[in-house]
Structures are given as C-alpha cells and as structure tokens.
Amino acid sequence: MKIKQFEDKGLAHYAYAILSERAKEVVLIDPARDPQPYYDYAKEHDAKIVGVIETHPHADFVSSHLEIHQKTGATIYTHSLVGADYPHQAFDEGAVLEFGDIKLKSLHTPGHSPDSISIVLEHEGKDKAVFTGDTLFIGDVGRPDLRESAGNVTAKREELARQMYKSTREKLMKLADDVVVYPAHGAGSLCGKGLSDANTSTIGDEKKGNYALQEMSEDAFVKVLTEDQPFIPKYFGYDVGLNKQGAPDYKPSLEGVKKLEKNYTPEESAVIVDARSESTFKKGHYKGAINIQNGGKFETWLGSIVGPNEHYYLVGESDEQLNELISKASKIGYELLIKGAFVYDKQDGESSDKFDKLTFEANKEDYTIVDIRNTSEVKSGKFFDNAINIPLPELRERVKEIPTDKPVVVHCAGGYRSAAGSSIVEAALPNVKVLDMSEAVTELKQK
C-alpha cells in the first residue's frame, strides 16, 4: 500500500493517490484541475484509477473529478448532500470502498461545509490514516463561513461551527492517536486561519497542539472559530458551483482561450489584468489595467479582485508567460472568463508616478495613506497611524471612499499587493497623483 501526496504550492492544496499494490488499483482524493500527474502516477505503477473521492465541493480550486471519470471510468464518490450534477455514488457516513487490501471508510464531518466527509484508511485490519479534506488541518480546522450562500445546502457560520465542534470531538478525535492526518490544504490556504507548514501530522499530535482541539465548551469553540477569519475571495462561491457541476476538460479548456495579436487594443472600459512585473507595468500600460503580477499567488489574487461575473483580458510579457498565466487561471476556473490573451511590449500609454521615500518620510501629513492589507493584519498593528484601511479584495468597490485632496500613497506588507492596489486607485481617481510604496514599506513602517 502506498500513499502519494501531490502539492500545488500556489493554492496550498494537497491531493492524494492511494495505491493498492496487490490489486494494481488507485483511488484519488481531491484531485487538482490538471489530471495528468495522476495518470502518470498510475502508469508508473502499472495501475488503474478506479475511484475519485471528493471530500466536499471545493471553494478555492477546481477539481478534475469529472474529467478523470470520463477518461478512466473511475467512480466518483461524494456525500449525497452535495447534490452533485455529475455521475457519482453517494459516500455517506458508514460507506466503505474496498480495493485490494485497503478499506476506505466515510465519516460525515460537517463544519467547513454541511457536506464534508473525512476518509479513514484501514489496512491489514487497522486504521492507518485519515484524509480530512477541509475539516481538520495541521494546527487548525476548516473555516465555517464559506457556505452561507453557496452550494446545494447552505448554513450559517455559527451552525457550521457547532457542527465542527461535534465532528472533531465525536468522530476525528476518537480515532487512534497514531492515525496519520492528511489534510487537503496547508499553510497559505484561505480555507483556515492558522495552518501549519507541516504537510502531515497524527491525531495524537493534533490533540496536543491544535488550538481547535483543546478542551473548551462548544460556545467557546464557536467564538474562537468564527473570529478573525481571513477574507473570502470573490471566486469561492463560483468554484463551489463549478465543482458541483463538474469542470470542463483541462487541456481543451486551455486551448479554447482566444490568443490575440501582440499589443491588441481592448475596447474602452474593458477589464484588463496585466500580469507583467510592477516595474514594467509602471513604464507603460493600458488605461484602467489592473497590475496583478505573475507570482506564487497570482490565481488567488485574480479571483479575489476580479469577480466571476466579469470577463477580462489577460496581458503578459511573452507567449510563455501567457501560457503559464492561463494555466494558473484555470486552477480556479477563470480561464473560462478570459475574453482574450495577448502580449504587450510597448512602453507608451499610461505611466505611473514614482514613489520617493525621502520626500514621503519628511512630509507624511501631505499624503493620504491607504493600507490595503486585510482587516486581521491591520488589527495586529498599523504601519502608519493616519492610514485608511481598505483591503485589496474590496478596493475596486470602495475606492471612492479615498479623499482626493492630497496625493495618495498605497501600501501593503511587502509590495506585491500594492502594485495591484495602486493600479486600481490610479484608474479610479485619474485626477489624483497615486504612488505605490511597494517594498519601501518595510523600511518606513512605524515601530
């Protein structure tokens, strides 16, 4: 028996392949959008993919379960509460999937969502591992506030938090201490608030070290779980729906994105996502373009700034980068929203003013400072006492709240988000000087 963990660092997502060497069969759990790594793994072990288990309809990434089913004939298993639109077999509490010498047993563990399940792996008569989806993480549990308006079954965050209390205490914590915990996400995911960098743990270690599994009343648990959760990206509800339906096949969907000629001119007022570097963007870009730089979290910020009801143009520095960006967008189903993708290599059009650190430091009161960090970040300390806080995911909707009587300086924590934020403010307030503090914030922040 072998367990293979697949990691997508951009979305801090873990998928799994469970191999029965006796039967030469593989069952996948929570696969990512690109199915090829799972096909390669099965081929490497001369095995057949016979099952795909979805622990719940994911909000933060698009799964390839339907494509894998259509390609391999593998049965898809998920909880009946999902109301899945794709061919599937219900895998409710007590259901067992046997292949070779492995038993996979379903536990209904609502809390992150009403339809969440955890999968206990039994081998040689003993529980060896549990695949917890977004219910139990390493150092945390799944947030309970994502299913208030998405999915087949919705529930208020307090109700889900109470369900999480019972799921952890009455089911997961009753497993043996040496059972290995395999979660669907790690540090950096927005599906929880304090995930560990570790990629596995044990039930015993989580009972000792996970704040959410410590002895406390149900009311105390609800309070601690519902406070200070990170923001909810715009795309989360869209992905829940897409996963409930089943996404289109990966490669054909990428190939379906319209490639336009170099330096194409979009129509006026179009949404343009320019993923070139901040320095290149500031030298010349289309009016109104949003500078979401290509980087480790591009797809998260794309889906946090641009809503699933919008269609957009995608701009890159080269054909190679465009292909990479389209692939990243597809992880959240946003390749379906691209009106056209093209390379831009001019330095004409709109340019951005440069931030002068010394001038700002000597005359801070002459500027309106906009802090685009998340509310929870600002709660732990402001960099500048007089700064206005508008989190980046809300900036396009709230930009008119910014006073226009002084030059505007935009900052985040390290410079990546401020490139996007300053481009949004610059487009919305054309008669105001807008400056991006970028990485200079680390030198200027108040102690």
Torsion of CA 236, 240, 246, 247, to 10 degrees: 0
Rounded Cα distance between 349 and 96, Å, is: 61
Asked if the model's pLDDT at residue 265 lies above 80, the reply is yes
For residue 77, what are the β-bridge partners? 53, 89
Residue that has been written with the tokens 């924590």 in this structure = 413
Q: Which residue has the higher pLDDT, 189 or 181?
A: 181
343-364 pLDDT, tens digit per residue, is 999 878 888 989 989 999 888 8
Tokens representing residue 77 in the block: 């298993």
Q: How far apart are the first and last CA of the chain?
A: 54
Asked if the model's pLDDT at residue 148 lies above 90, the reply is no
DSSP-derived pairing of the beta strands 96-99 and 102-108:
antiparallel
Asked if the model's pLDDT at residue 191 lies above 80, the reply is no
Asked if the model's pLDDT at residue 446 lies above 60, the reply is no
Amino acid at 358: L
Asked if the model's pLDDT at residue 433 lies above 80, the reply is yes
Amino acid at 5: Q
- CA 181 remoteness from chain centre: 21
The pLDDT, as a whole number, for residue 379 is 85
84-142 pLDDT, tens digit per residue, is 999 999 999 999 999 999 999 999 999 999 999 999 999 999 999 999 999 999 999 99
- pTM of the prediction? 0.93
Rounded Cα distance between 12 and 184, Å, is: 8
20-62 pLDDT, tens digit per residue, is 999 999 999 999 999 999 999 999 999 999 999 999 999 999 9
Q: Do the beta carbons of residue 95 and residue 88 sit within 8 Å?
A: no
Q: Which of these, 180, 63, 38, lies nearest to 122 by C-alpha position?
A: 180
The pLDDT, as a whole number, for residue 447 is 40
Asked if the model's pLDDT at residue 193 lies above 60, the reply is no
For the chain, percent of residues with pLDDT exceeding 70: 95
Among 186-190, 225-229, 333-337, the range of highest mean pLDDT: 333-337
The DSSP symbol for 433 reads -
Q: Which of these, 58, 1, 2, lies nearest to 31 by C-alpha position?
A: 58
Average pLDDT (182-205) is 79
Go through 312-331 and write b for each residue having 16 or more CB atoms within 10 A of its CB, e for each that does not. Answer: bbbbbbeeeebeebbbbbbb
The pLDDT, as a whole number, for residue 127 is 98
The pLDDT, as a whole number, for residue 154 is 62
The pLDDT, as a whole number, for residue 196 is 63
Q: Which of these, 166, 168, 224, 177, lies nearest to 201 by C-alpha position?
A: 177
Q: What average pLDDT does the chain have?
A: 93
DSSP-derived pairing of the beta strands 89-90 and 368-371:
unpaired
Average pLDDT (248-275) is 97
**C-alpha atoms less than 13 angstroms from C-alpha of 112 in its C-beta half-sphere:** 30
Strand order across the beta sheet in which 312-316 lies: 271-274, 312-316, 338-343
